[in-house]
Amino acid sequence: MNTVEDFPEVKYATDEGLLALGGDLSAQRLMTAYRKGIFPWYQAGQPILWWSPDPRCVLFPAQYKPQRSLKKSIKKQRFVFSFDQTFEEVINNCAAPRVNSTGTWITEDMKDAYIDLHHLGYAHSIETWKDDQLVGGLYGIALSGLFFGESMFSQTSDASKAALSFLISHLTTWNFQLIDCQITSPHLLNLGAVEIPRTEFLERLDCALAHAGKPGSWKNIPVEPQ
């Protein structure tokens, strides 16, 4: 494990994926980290911890097929979706403690850092609305042809899953190569995520960085009912 001055090669990460500690959450450092397949993840009171796990949990937009039950739920709920309309509200909801949990890894410093990235056109929110109320969503980083998913929340059944499905449909149209889900969980696997070796992830990351993606703010993309 190393302290952050310049990031070490990811091959030096621990078996759990921990690569380095310390540094800051400046936009420059965060963008450097993401381009190298590294992300911050830590609890309040800890130094900033930087990770590059092996294997890596990812979603392939071109291969994603929403479950039939989700399609029915989206149609029944009559959701409306938008991009970048309420980024701060989305990240605040993602930071709220979950059921049977009192803590969160989205610290105040993390929120401030990603709000700065949002203003710079790198961090984006996807919102799910029902009856003009925000009921779910997610946020992440778009860098060239790769979307780094950070967190999602839901206040009604399938609202976050629907936001992900909506996002993937656009990423496919925009020729995004990959969604980085970072750390594997049963929930992500149920959504269609898979694990790939870190070496493969880094190769795909390099390839995705050569694609144009969708730079800048997504705020002017029309709101869409489903």
Q: Give the Cα separation of 210 and 137 in Å (integer).
A: 28
Backbone conformation region of residue 2, classed left if phi is above 0, alpha if psi is from -120 to 50, else beta: beta
Q: What's the distance, CA 71 to chain centroid? A: 22
pLDDT score of 4: 59
Contact 57, 188 (CB under 8 A): yes
Q: 63: left (phi > 0), else alpha (psi -120 to 50), else beta?
A: alpha
- Give pLDDT, residue 136: 97
Q: Is the pLDDT of residue 46 over 60?
A: yes
CB burial readout 163-185, b (16+ within 10 A) else e = bbbbbbbbbeeeebbbbbbbebe
Q: Which domains does the chain have, with CATH numbers?
A: 2-53 (3.30.70.3550), 57-225 (3.40.630.70)
Q: SS3 breakdown of the chain: % helix, strand, coil, rounded to 5?
A: 35, 25, 40
Mean pLDDT of the chain, nearest integer: 92
Query: What phi and psi values does residue 137 have, to the nearest 5 degrees?
Result: 165, -175
Say if residue 9's pLDDT is above 70.
yes
Is 146 a residue whose pLDDT tops 80? Answer: yes
Could you tell me how many residues make up the chain?
226
Distance of CA 153 to CAs 68, 125, 128, 178, Å? 21, 11, 10, 21
Tell me how far apart the alpha carbons of residues 164 and 149 are, in angstroms, rounded to a whole number: 10
Span 197-206, mean pLDDT?
97
Tokens (6 digits) for 123: 């961090």
Instruction: Give the residue-averaged pLDDT of 193-209.
Output: 97
Contact 73, 3 (CB under 8 A): no
